[in-house]
Structure 1
Amino acid sequence: MTELLIILTIILAISLILLVTIQPRQTQIFSTDATSNIGKPSYWQSNTLVKVLTLLVSLALFVMLILFMALTFA
């Protein structure tokens, strides 16, 4: 059981790293940041699948680490 949790945690961590690295980067200029996004799609409308997958994988990794910690120290 512990080996399975370790392997699943490693797979989730690597997939989270890959998902974060393929997300697009945006340069920020704080003086025009508030007005430059007017009329543009919101954060979730561009690359929705990658962002939702990143969110789900990060939540799964968090739950997996909490579960692994509870099983290890109990």
Structure 2
Amino acid sequence: MNTHKNHLKDYRIKQKLTPAQLGELAGVSRQTIFLIEENLYSPSVRLAAKFADIFNTTIDSLFTHTLEEEK
């Protein structure tokens, strides 16, 4: 089973950005921001890198992906 977790919302709130503001900075819609924050959409590597640049952090700090064994 794949597990995705992201901290995009935490970073966005810490920087006092709305989803619309972050979307504008990243070149995507606010709906895309919501989908990513709710783990309903995985961003491309290019978009993930853009978020990392916006927040002056690494992609690994924003997004994690783990494989868990099925029981």
TM score, norm. by length of structure 1:
0.24
Specify the structure having the higher radius of gyration (Cα): 1
TM score, norm. by length of structure 2:
0.24
| Greater RCO, CA 8 A, separation 6+ | 1
